[in-house]
């Protein structure tokens, strides 16, 4: 078949070149956005009398029919037509005749694909934010359920101080809230209308770009036609925000993997989200969590891939930009699938709160409480820290826990120590006393849950 752009060429395109340059195998995902943008463009052409209104209406009906065919799985995408734009335009011409050739008036595939990708990202960002908020609510529900459950808090993966499980879970709610805000910024960056920039220089025809912007629900309109067709910052912003999001999900996945081991025994993952071994019958493997952790590498790679594609491109459009879609599509699929599976898996996780409580007081985790007790007695913190360190060393030497020391033994380290120190040695009291803003005290965690529920909002 003769190419729509064949007028300049003496020879047919090589079959090898066609296969190498085609993008329909992946950009067909943009079909609904391509048709949406084309309908808006046709309406504008008719409104401005650039083409007759009856032609505009005929084009729109033809595009609507094509949309139904694609949605029903009846449309055949052809590799020899290169991309989604040429596939739809060729089908339109076949359906309504030469009138279909008027659709591409006052636009180029350069501004057309920029529009399609912005529409796609705008839609997907909305869905990703919704999934993040759902997972935040899932975590908040779990935090409320385990409000007073103790667990060891860690630094350097060493037991450090007792904290509430609910407080630990809320840390991920906070991370996700930052992710929500980042994706809102991505949405704002993508929500600028580029159509009308044409190939790079605009058009001599009396287009109404503001009208198209209004039809497509964009908040703004691109102000430089060269930048509009060559800009992929909005796609890089999506990949960047996704990299941070999946990093947070990977950290959670890593903890779920650790906590499910025999060494920790903090949780049991639901059978429906684990797998067995082909050789070891006793195994219950956290494959879902491991794949979340593994997909993080792909998302990072996609960000670097697009940054590398963009780094040496002269203005304006270059075919290199065809390579923007696979990283974007793959990243969107990865982060959405991770959020979907976490939303389904997390409510089925069984927390062994007794085991967590039993380990919360180990490894001298209330040592800081002793130091702060001594500070309240008037001892400078650095001196109090040293005294407490010697108390811990004595316990290690004697193979004792802190709460097994007698008052007599404790007073050998400081005469200011009295009976009122013993509550400070209990993990429950340690947690209860950490009432600083954002701390792990139950009353403070309740405030955090209340604040976050308001921030995250309801399911509506």
168: annotated active-site residue:
no
Tell whether the model's pLDDT for residue 347 goes beyond 70. Answer: yes
Residue of 19, 94, 277, 418 marked catalytic: 277
pLDDT number for residue 460: 47
Annotate 359-387 with b (16+ C-beta within 10 A) or e (fewer). bbbebbbbbbbbbbbbeeeebeeeebbeb
pLDDT at 13 over 50: yes
**When comparing pLDDT for 14 and 76, which is higher?**
76
pLDDT attached to residue 99: 98
What's the confidence (pLDDT) of residue 434? Answer: 93
- Residue 217 backbone class (left: φ over 0; alpha: ψ -120 to 50; beta: rest): left
Can you tell me the distance from the alpha carbon of 12 to that of 70, in angstroms, rounded to the nearest whole number?
29
Would the pLDDT of 458 be above 70?
Answer: no
The residue with tokens 């081991």 is 261
Is 360-456 a CATH 1.10.40.30 domain? Answer: yes
Query: How many beta carbons lie within 10 A of that of residue 254, not counting itself?
Result: 15
- Residue-averaged pLDDT of the chain: 95
Q: Residue 398 — φ and ψ, nearest 5°?
A: -90, -5
Which tokens belong to 306?
A: 């697009």
Q: 173 and 136 in contact (C-beta within 8 Å)?
A: yes
pLDDT value at position 407?
93
Quick check: do 110-152+163-358 and 360-456 share a fold? no
Out of 156, 278, 406, 436, pick the active-site residue: 156
Overall average pLDDT of the 392-413 stretch: 92
pLDDT tens digits, one per residue of 136-174? 999 999 999 999 999 999 999 999 999 999 999 999 999
Active site residue 277: yes
Q: How many Å separate Cα 122 from the centre of its chain?
A: 14
DSSP letters for 63-100: HHHHHHHHHTT-----GGG-SHHHHHHHHHHHHHGGGG
Fold of 15-105: Fumarase C; Chain B, domain 1 (1.10.275)
Q: Which residue has better confidence, 346 or 19?
A: 346
- 71 CA to centre of own chain: 28
Tens digit of each residue's pLDDT (9 = 90 or more) over 430-447: 999 999 999 999 999 999
**In 3D, which of 201, 203, 157, 199 has the Cα closest to residue 45?**
203
| pLDDT for residue 91 | 97
Q: Is there a contact between 356 and 366 (Cβ–Cβ < 8 Å)?
A: no
CATH says 110-152+163-358 is which class? mainly alpha
Q: What confidence category does residue 2 fall into, taking pLDDT thresholds of 50, 70 and 90?
A: low
Supply the DSSP string of 123-171, one letter for each residue.
HHHHHHHHHHHHHHHHHHHHHHHTTT-EEEEEETTEEEEEEEHHHHHHH
User: Which structure tokens are listed for 277?
Assistant: 């071994």
Residue 103 has pLDDT above 90, yes or no: yes
What is the residue extent of each domain of the chain? Answer: 15-105, 110-152+163-358, 360-456
């Amino acid at each position: 078949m003769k190419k729509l752009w064949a007028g300049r060429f003496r020879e047919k395109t090589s079959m090898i070149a066609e296969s190498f340059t085609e993008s329909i195998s992946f950009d067909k995902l943009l079909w609904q956005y391509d048709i949406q943008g084309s309908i808006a463009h046709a309406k504008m052409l008719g409104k401005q009398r650039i083409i007759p209104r009856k032609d505009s209406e005929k084009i729109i009906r033809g595009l609507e029919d094509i949309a139904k065919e694609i949605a029903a799985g009846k449309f055949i995408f052809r590799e020899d037509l290169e991309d989604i734009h040429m596939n739809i335009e060729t089908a339109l011409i076949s359906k309504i005749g030469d009138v279909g050739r008027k659709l591409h008036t006052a636009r180029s595939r350069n501004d057309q694909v920029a529009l399609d990708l912005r529409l796609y990202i705008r839609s997907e960002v909305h869905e990703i934010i919704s999934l993040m908020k759902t997972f935040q609510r899932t975590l908040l529900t779990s935090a409320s359920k385990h409000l007073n459950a103790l667990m060891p808090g860690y630094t350097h993966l060493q037991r450090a101080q007792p904290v509430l499980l609910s407080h630990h879970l809320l840390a991920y709610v906070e991370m996700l809230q930052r992710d929500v805000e980042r994706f809102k910024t991505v949405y704002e960056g993508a929500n600028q209308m580029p159509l009308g920039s044409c190939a790079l220089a605009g058009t001599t025809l009396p287009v109404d770009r503001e009208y198209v912007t209004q039809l497509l629900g964009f908040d703004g309109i691109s102000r430089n036609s060269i930048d509009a067709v060559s800009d992929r910052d909005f796609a890089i912003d999506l990949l960047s925000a996704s990299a941070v999001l999946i990093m947070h999900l990977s950290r959670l996945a890593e903890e779920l993997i650790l906590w499910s081991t025999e060494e920790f025994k903090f949780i049991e993952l639901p059978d429906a989200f684990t797998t067995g071994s082909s050789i070891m019958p006793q195994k219950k493997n956290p494959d879902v969590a491991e794949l979340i952790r593994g997909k993080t590498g792909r998302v990072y790679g996609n960000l670097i891939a697009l940054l590398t594609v963009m780094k040496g491109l002269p203005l304006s459009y270059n075919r290199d930009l065809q390579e923007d879609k696979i990283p974007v599509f793959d990243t969107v699929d990865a982060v959405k699938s991770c959020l979907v599976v976490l939303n389904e898996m997390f409510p089925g996780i069984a927390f062994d709160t007794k085991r967590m409580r039993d380990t919360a007081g180990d490894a001298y985790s209330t040592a800081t409480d002793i130091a702060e007790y001594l500070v309240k007695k008037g001892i400078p913190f650095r001196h109090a820290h040293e005294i407490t360190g010697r108390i811990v060393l004595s316990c290690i030497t004697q193979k004792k826990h802190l709460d097994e020391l007698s008052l007599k033994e404790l007073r050998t380290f400081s005469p200011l120590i009295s009976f009122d120190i013993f509550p400070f040695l209990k993990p429950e009291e340690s947690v209860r006393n950490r009432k600083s803003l954002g701390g792990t005290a139950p009353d403070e965690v309740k405030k955090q849950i209340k604040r976050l529920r308001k921030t995250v909002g309801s399911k509506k």
